[in-house]
């Protein structure tokens, strides 16, 4: 076991969360009660323990309905509680020790000891800590997010997108009947018994919110009062019945998602479109009313502030109600354009049959600086998912990106990225005889590494690197799989399990054999720096023989200080992103080695799929800070390339060349790859037809995805200097959007380094 | 020569522009002054130069010498473009314009974006300098491009022998023909151009219907109603419909310093709106007048 600090920051958190509505003492009481119930149920089944603990939290953690809400449901999170993801609360029965410590400071001195005993209890029971103790390995496998390590692991259940069509068609009453029926076959099934308790929790939560709506209606103006009473009626209905209107459907879905702790929402157009269409047709809603409901949903999602989640997906293949879904799609496009929030991460799936209007609306929203929608190419993704995840095309057509881009099959698969691997750091370790040049610690995992002088060909050198990668890829599959084992040992993720195929049918929770497709993902970083480094070594050492490997390594260890010539030559070597065969084929080769390596290992260990994602949040910058200088000319501590894009500034041949490079990777071997591009407004909006054909051609060529930032030149630079002038400036970081001025200086610099395509540059 | 992909101002759609080296004129507003000589030219960015003078040692023909201020001085007329100085520069301050590329190498780059051309109505544009200065190479490039079904455009100043233009005629989908003045004397004195030769070439191409006249609008030279009306009149008389007014810009100004040359024109570009009244004149004469490339 490796030593680790349980107070380490566990995830990316840019957006600041709302403070709890409850007083610190109330919060403490809830956490104490939760802890007591957890302790009292240590001998119970994991399912029953979870259900009893959830009863402590809900409906108590609900906040009041806010004046702008048209759908009810906002939640507080405490440093101790239950959850699925690190973005909200924590995973399973969790304690976020760092936050608990901060919370302690808010209490009067006399009460602080109460926190200390909670802290002590949870050091033995926090799920992630349990996982870390069992899994982490000194030198090679660290915890999220400890960038000293070349690979990090966590236990979490990110990216779950539930089977909402089943929820909407059955309603809570129908779900109850379904569980009861199954329970009559196996009366001792703890999951099903606990599942019924969950539905009771749902009903109590709906009732509490209904009361809140009524209480507020009394004091509200007539218009707001009508809205609140409509909300109360909807809440009343969904306690038992399936929804009959769009607002009721939205309410059911939203409340369930909150209780399940899921933060990505899926193909809302297809689920909600029929309700919306019926309301519009029958005059219960007009277009403005529908817009307001969707806008309110946008605000609710934004206010959850998960930073890298909140996915809503519209459009694409495999929709069951395309006509009705498009009504939602068009309104959502308008909302996304008007709101310009960092969340929800609004996503459109397109294919060759997508109407022109959808393209135009998408480009309009992007041109307005919304950074949304992100666009996925179904013509590439659906067959790729079918291959990568080993399923038929119809199932694959239900893929949905979550988080930074990782795919799951809505309602049918897990896909949580519980591993991140830094390919570049591993290269610097390999070149330094197994020792990380950053801290002098051996991180070769016992893999024998020859001295650099002994490599006579590039292939030998590359093979040596691959051998070290193999060690890490083995470990990645084991650590991912083990995260499921540990989570399954302790929790059932009940609300999630109830709405994932085939948990109820099998009478098993998600990770206990319930979920139809047990998948997972592995986030790779430094891909392009690593491949550009290999390109430089091949060129300078083996093809042109200008330097020896030892000379290059000497320069790297000195961070190129005193080795200007070597750095200049390294930088001058061909770079990925310029549509050059040399650099692009190297990138592709390394990609395939890693991606296939991960996939094969996942299948071997017993997962439906384990695929890399070239997703990238801001870890490319943070990990770069702890990664030595590299043969691509990158200095020590410098950010690494973002996602699947070239290192900032390395692409010099314009957008067609960059996109040609991006389109190289075969999408079948990854479960999502982020492709960023940045334009000035005059370029993007002044040449809309050109931009459209640029993207379309890129998609024709096999490009799987594009995400776009439209920002004027000089604006980001000015925002660094005068942040107060830009409170609303939104940028696409990689797999998520953020208010630019909320980002750290290092991340701002990484964004600035990326090429901004401007029409003036093309004037000659 | 140099190649720019994703050009948006040298013809319709997404284009790759191939800048061929050499120009018979010397327009003082030229935004590609490095492309005027037929031979390769060093550009030297003084703001990047660290005055290490490694380039002096690197030049095999001893064409670079230390200047009195510590910066290198280049004998540009004799340079063969071997790239030694560019490679030796640790600061990236030297770049050679006009690198030698074979027809095959050029076409390999051009063809990489073929599908973008097809989908956007774009293609390849040969520009310069004056592309006809390397006439035989240009003809080969046109043949190769046309053979691959790539839309071809040529940006020319018209100051070239008529027979070579005639040979390019059938291989070119669009001529972007620069017309700088209607007054032969003024044109000659400022740019060195021969108006008779230019108008003769324009008249020859005009019959094809695939000519766009492009007028760089330069304050103090041709930015007045009389000059522009005169040029519009020439277009009308030849049956040409498309005219683009190109607002004067200063994007090439830095290059003059890098070539150690003086830039003699105003330090501010023109807003597109300034050209509106002039465009209206042309439109009133029955022309389709656009502003910008």
Domain boundaries defined on chain B: 2-36+99-291, 45-97
A131 and A149 fall within a common domain: yes
In which residue are the tokens 């410590």 written? A101
- Please tell me the distance from the alpha carbon of residue A603 to that of residue A689, in angstroms, as a whole number: 44
Cβ distance A568 to B112 less than 8 Å, yes or no, reads no
Average pLDDT of span A336-364: 96
Inside any domain, residue A136: yes
Q: Is A356 on the interface with B (CB under 8 A)?
A: no
Question: Are residues A193 and A207 both part of a single domain?
Answer: yes
Q: How do residues B63-90 score in pLDDT, each as one tens digit?
A: 999 999 999 999 988 888 888 999 888 8
Distance CA A417, CA A414 (A): 10
Cβ–Cβ of A660/B113 closer than 8 Å? Answer: yes
Beta bridge mates, A677: A708
Q: Are residues A391 and A467 in the same domain?
A: no
Q: Which residues of A touch B4 (CB under 8 A)?
A: 654, 762, 764
Interface test with A, best of B20, B21, B54, B119 (most A CBs within 10 A): B119
Clarify whether residues A544 and A646 are in a common domain: yes
For every residue of B127-190, DSSP letters joined together read: ESS-GGGGHHHHHHHHHHHHHTT--EEEEE-S-S-HHHHHHHHTT-SEEEEE---S-HHHHHHH
How many distinct structural domains can be found in chain A? 2
Q: What is the C-alpha to C-alpha distance for residues A80 and A90, in angstroms, rounded to an integer?
A: 8
Q: Are B156 and B130 in contact (CB under 8 A)?
A: yes
Q: What is the ipTM of this complex?
A: 0.91
Any domain includes A736: no
Kind plus residue range of the DSSP H or E element containing A165: helix A164-185
Work out the minimum CA distance from A763 to partner chain B, whole angstroms. Answer: 6
- Taking alpha carbons only, the member of A718, A723, A758 closest to residue A739 is A723
Q: CB-CB: which of A564, A565, A657 is closest to B5?
A: A657
Interchain pair A701, B115: CB under 8 A: yes
* Whole-angstrom distance, CA of residue A684 vs CA of residue B122: 17
Q: What is the mean pLDDT of residues A268-273?
A: 98
**Residues from chain B contacting residue A759 (CB–CB below 8 Å):** 8-9
pLDDT tens-digit map of A82-106: 999 988 889 999 999 999 999 999 9
A580, closest residue in chain B (CA to CA): B109
Determine, for residues B90 and A565 on separate chains, whether the beta-carbon distance falls below 8 Å.
Answer: yes
d(CA A13, CA A15): 6
CA distance A745 to A317: 40
Q: What is the pLDDT of residue A764?
A: 36
Claim to verify: residue A385 and residue A430 sit in the same structural domain: no
**Closest Cβ opposite residue B116 in set A572, A653, A693:** A693
A8 vs B: CB within 8 A: no
Q: Does one domain contain both A332 and A405?
A: yes
pLDDT (average), residues A68-72: 97
Model confidence band, residue B293 (pLDDT cutoffs 50, 70, 90): low
Q: Is any Cβ of chain B less than 8 angstroms from the Cβ of A315?
A: no
Within an 8 Å CB–CB cutoff, is residue A564 touching chain B? Answer: yes
A697: nearest CA partner in chain B: B116
- Residue that is written with structure tokens 């492309």 in the block: B35
Distance from CA of A318 to the nearest CA of B (A): 27
Joined tokens for residue A714: 């000089």
Considering only residues A11 and A561, tell me which one the structure prediction assigns the higher pLDDT. A561
Q: Kindly report the backbone phi and psi dihedral angles of residue A243, in degrees, each rounded to the nearest multiple of 5, phi listed first.
A: -70, 150
Question: Residue B2's closest CA among B40, B29, B30, B37?
Answer: B40
CATH of the domain at A579: 3.20.70.20
Mark yes or no for CB contact B251/A696 under 8 Å. Answer: no
- Binary contact (B7, A764; C-beta < 8 A): yes
Q: Which residue of B has its CA nearest to A683?
A: B8
A688–B contact, CB cutoff 8 A? no
Q: 3.30.9.10, 3.40.50.2000, 3.40.630.30, 3.20.20.70: which CATH number matches B2-36+99-291?
A: 3.20.20.70
Is there a single domain that holds both residue A268 and residue A389?
Answer: yes
Q: What is the least distance, in Å, from the CA of B162 to any CA of chain A?
A: 26
Residue A493 is assigned to a structural domain of this protein: yes
Q: How far is B14 from chain A (nearest CA, A)?
A: 6
**Cβ of A689 and B113 within 8 Å?**
no
Pairing of strands B211-217, B242-247: parallel
A137 and A268: one domain?
no
Query: What does the pLDDT read at residue A89?
Result: 86
pLDDT for the residue B99: 80
Angle, nearest 10°, between helix axes A268-281 and A287-304?
150
Q: Which fold has domain B45-97?
A: Alpha-Beta Plaits (3.30.70)
Q: Is the residue at A383 inside a domain?
A: yes
Whether the CA torsion A642, A645, A650, A655 is positive or negative: it is negative
Residue written as tokens 């049959």? Answer: A353
A83 within some domain: no
Size of interface A-B (CB pairs under 8 A): 72
pLDDT, one tens digit per residue, over B203-255 is 999 987 699 999 999 999 999 999 999 999 999 999 999 999 999 998 888 88
B6 and A697 within 8 Å at the Cβ level: the answer is: no
Span A13-42, pLDDT tens digits:
767 788 899 999 999 999 999 999 999 999
pLDDT given at position A617: 82
pTM summary value: 0.94
| Chain B residue set in contact with A, beta carbons under 8 Å | 4-10, 13-14, 17, 19, 31-32, 87, 90, 92, 112-113, 115-116, 118-121, 127, 249, 251, 293
Do the Cβ atoms of B112 and A656 come within 8 Å?
Answer: yes
The whole-chain average pLDDT of chain A stands at: 96
Greatest extent of chain A over all pairs of C-alpha atoms, in Å: 83
> SS3 for B23?
coil
Local confidence band at B41 (pLDDT 50, 70, 90 cut-offs): confident
Is the separation of the CB atoms in A708 and A677 below 8 Å?
A: yes
Residue A654 and residue A666 in contact, taking contact as beta carbons nearer than 8 Å = no
A-chain CB neighbours of B90 within 8 Å are 564-565, 568
Q: Which domain holds residue A349?
A: 164-410
* Closest CA–CA distance from residue B183 to any residue of chain A (Å): 26
The Cα A661–Cα A533 span in angstroms is 16
Q: Indicate whether A694 belongs to any domain.
A: no
**Looking at the structure, do residues A544 and A631 belong to the same domain, yes or no?**
yes
Structure tokens at B61: 């023909």
Are A617 and A12 contacting, i.e. CB atoms less than 8 angstroms apart?
yes
Average pLDDT over residues A561-589: 96
Is residue A147, in this structure, part of any structural domain at all? yes
pLDDT of res. A763:
37
Closest-CA distance of chain B to residue A555, Å: 15
Mutant choice from B1, B14, B127, B249 vs A, greatest count of A C-beta within 10 A: B14
The answer, yes or no, to whether residue A47 has pLDDT greater than 80, is yes
What is the reported pLDDT for A762?
41
Residue A689 contacts B where some CB pair is shorter than 8 Å? yes
Last residue of a domain, one of A674, A704, A724: A674
Q: Are A588 and A664 in contact (CB under 8 A)?
A: yes
Tokens of A715: 């604006």
Contact check, Cβ <8 Å, A764/B32: yes
Task: Please tell me whether residues A460 and A441 are part of one structural domain.
Answer: yes
Q: Do B14 and A694 touch (CB under 8 A)?
A: yes
Give the closest of A657, A660, A759 to B8, CB-based.
A759
Last residue of one domain, picked from the residues A648, A674, A700 = A674
Of all helices (H) and strands (E), which one includes residue A624?
A: helix A619-624
A696 contacts in B (CB within 8 Å)? 119
- Regarding whether A500 and A479 lie in a shared domain, the answer is yes
Residues 6 or more apart in contact with residue B219 via CB below 8 angstroms: B248, B266, B270
Contact A290, A279 (CB under 8 A): yes
Q: Do residues A575 and A650 make contact, with C-beta atoms less than 8 angstroms apart?
A: yes
Residues A187 and A146 in one domain: no
A694 contact B CB<8A: yes
Nearest residue to A444 (alpha-carbon basis) of A479, A419, A477, A469: A469
């Amino acid at each position: 076991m490796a030593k680790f600090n349980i107070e380490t920051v566990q995830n990316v958190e840019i957006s600041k969360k709302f403070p709890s509505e409850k007083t610190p003492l109330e919060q403490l009481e809830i956490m104490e009660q939760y802890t007591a119930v957890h302790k009292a149920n240590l001998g119970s089944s994991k399912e029953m323990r979870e259900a009893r603990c959830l009863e402590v939290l809900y409906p108590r953690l609900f906040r009041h309905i806010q004046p702008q809400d048209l759908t009810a449901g906002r939640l507080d999170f405490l440093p101790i509680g239950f959850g699925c993801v690190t973005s909200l609360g924590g995973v399973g029965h969790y304690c976020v020790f760092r936050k608990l410590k901060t919370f302690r400071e808010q209490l009067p001195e006399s009460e602080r000891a109460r926190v200390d005993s909670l802290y002590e209890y949870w050091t033995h029971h926090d799920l992630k800590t349990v996982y870390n103790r069992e899994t982490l390995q000194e030198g090679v496998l660290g915890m999220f997010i400890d960038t000293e390590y070349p690979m990090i692991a966590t236990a979490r259940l990110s990216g779950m997108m539930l089977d909402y069509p089943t929820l909407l068609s059955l309603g809570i009453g129908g779900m109850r009947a379904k569980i009861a029926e199954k329970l009559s076959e196996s009366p001792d099934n703890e999951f099903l018994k606990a599942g019924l308790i969950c539905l009771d929790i749902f009903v109590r939560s709906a009732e509490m919110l209904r009361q809140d709506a009524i209480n507020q209606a009394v004091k509200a103006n007539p218009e707001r009062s009508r809205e609140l009473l409509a909300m109360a009626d909807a809440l009343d209905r969904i306690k038992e019945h399936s929804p009959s209107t769009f607002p009721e459907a939205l309410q059911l879905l939203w409340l369930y998602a909150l209780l399940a702790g899921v933060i990505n929402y899926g193909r809302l157009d297809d689920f909600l479109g029929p309700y919306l269409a019926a309301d519009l047709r029958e005059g219960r809603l007009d277009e403005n009313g529908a817009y307001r409901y969707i806008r309110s949903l946008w605000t609710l999602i934004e206010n959850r502030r998960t930073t890298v989640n909140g996915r809503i997906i519209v459009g694409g293949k495999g929709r069951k109600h395309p006509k009705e879904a498009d009504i939602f799609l068009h309104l959502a496009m308008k909302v996304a354009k008007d709101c310009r929030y960092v969340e929800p991460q609004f996503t459109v799936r397109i294919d060759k049959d997508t109407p022109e209007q959808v393209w135009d609306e998408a480009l309009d929203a992007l041109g307005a600086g919304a950074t949304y929608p992100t666009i996925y190419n179904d013509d590439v993704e659906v067959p790729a998912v079918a291959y990568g995840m080993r399923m038929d095309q119809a199932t694959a057509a239900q893929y949905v990106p979550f988080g930074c881009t990782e795919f799951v099959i809505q309602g049918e698969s897990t896909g949580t990225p519980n591993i991140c691997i830094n390919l570049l750091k591993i290269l610097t370790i390999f070149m330094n005889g197994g020792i990380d040049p950053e801290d002098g610690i051996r991180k070769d995992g016992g893999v024998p590494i020859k001295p650099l002088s002994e490599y006579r060909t590039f292939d030998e050198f590359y093979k040596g690197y691959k051998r070290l990668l193999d060690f890490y890829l083995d470990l990645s599959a084991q650590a991912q799989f083990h995260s499921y084992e540990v989570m399954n040992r302790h929790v059932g993720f009940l609300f999630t399990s109830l709405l994932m195929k085939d948990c109820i049918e099998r009478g098993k929770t998600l990770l206990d054999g319930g979920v139809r497709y047990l998948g997972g993902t592995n986030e790779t970083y430094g891909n392009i720096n690593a491949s550009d480094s290999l390109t430089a070594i091949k060129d300078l050492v083996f093809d042109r023989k200008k330097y020896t490997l030892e000379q290059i390594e000497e320069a790297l260890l000195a961070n190129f200080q005193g080795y200007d010539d070597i750095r200049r030559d390294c930088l001058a070597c061909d770079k990925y992103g310029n549509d050059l065969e040399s650099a692009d084929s190297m990138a592709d080769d390394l990609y395939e080695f890693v991606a296939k390596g991960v996939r094969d290992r996942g299948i071997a260990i017993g997962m439906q799929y384990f695929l890399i994602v070239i997703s990238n949040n801001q870890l490319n910058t943070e990990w770069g800070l702890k990664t030595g200088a590299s043969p691509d000319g990158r200095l020590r501590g410098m950010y690494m390339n973002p996602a699947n894009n070239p290192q900032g500034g390395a692409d010099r041949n314009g957008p067609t060349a960059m996109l040609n490079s991006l389109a190289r990777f075969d999408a079948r071997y990854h479960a999502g790859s982020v492709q960023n591009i940045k334009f000035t407004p005059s370029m993007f909006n002044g040449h809309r037809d050109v931009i459209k054909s640029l993207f379309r051609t890129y998609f024709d060529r096999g490009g799987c995805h594009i995400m776009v930032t439209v920002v004027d030149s000089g604006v980001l630079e000015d925002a660094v200097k005068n942040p107060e002038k830009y409170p609303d400036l939104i940028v696409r970081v990689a797999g998520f959007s953020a208010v630019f001025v909320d980002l750290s200086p290092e991340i701002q610099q990484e964004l600035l380094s990326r090429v901004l395509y401007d029409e003036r540059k093309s004037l000659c | 020569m140099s190649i720019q992909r994703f050009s948006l101002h040298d013809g319709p759609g997404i284009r790759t522009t191939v800048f061929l080296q050499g120009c018979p004129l010397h327009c003082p507003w030229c935004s590609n002054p490095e492309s005027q000589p037929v031979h390769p030219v060093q550009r030297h960015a003084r703001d990047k130069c660290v005055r290490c003078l490694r380039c002096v040692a690197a030049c095999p023909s001893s064409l670079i010498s230390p200047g009195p201020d510590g910066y290198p001085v280049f004998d540009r007329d004799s340079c063969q473009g071997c790239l030694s100085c560019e490679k030796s520069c640790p600061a990236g301050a030297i770049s050679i314009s006009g690198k030698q590329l074979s027809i095959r190498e050029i076409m390999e780059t051009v063809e990489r974006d073929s599908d973008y051309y097809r989908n956007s109505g774009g293609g390849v544009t040969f520009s310069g300098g004056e592309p006809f200065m390397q006439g035989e190479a240009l003809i080969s490039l046109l043949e190769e491009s046309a053979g691959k079904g790539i839309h071809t455009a040529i940006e020319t100043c018209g100051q070239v022998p008529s027979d070579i233009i005639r040979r390019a005629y059938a291989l070119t989908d669009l001529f972007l023909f620069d017309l700088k003045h209607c007054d032969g004397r003024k044109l000659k004195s400022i740019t060195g151009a021969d108006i008779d030769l230019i108008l003769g070439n324009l008249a020859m191409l005009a019959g094809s219907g695939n000519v766009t006249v492009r007028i760089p609008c330069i304050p103090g030279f041709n930015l007045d109603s009389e000059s522009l009306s005169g040029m519009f009149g020439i277009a009308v008389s030849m049956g040409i419909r498309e005219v683009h007014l190109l607002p004067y810009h200063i994007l090439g100004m830095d290059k003059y310093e890098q070539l150690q040359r003086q830039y003699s024109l105003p330090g501010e570009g023109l807003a597109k709106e300034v050209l509106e009244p002039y465009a209206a004149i042309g439109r009133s004469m029955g022309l389709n007048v656009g502003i910008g490339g």
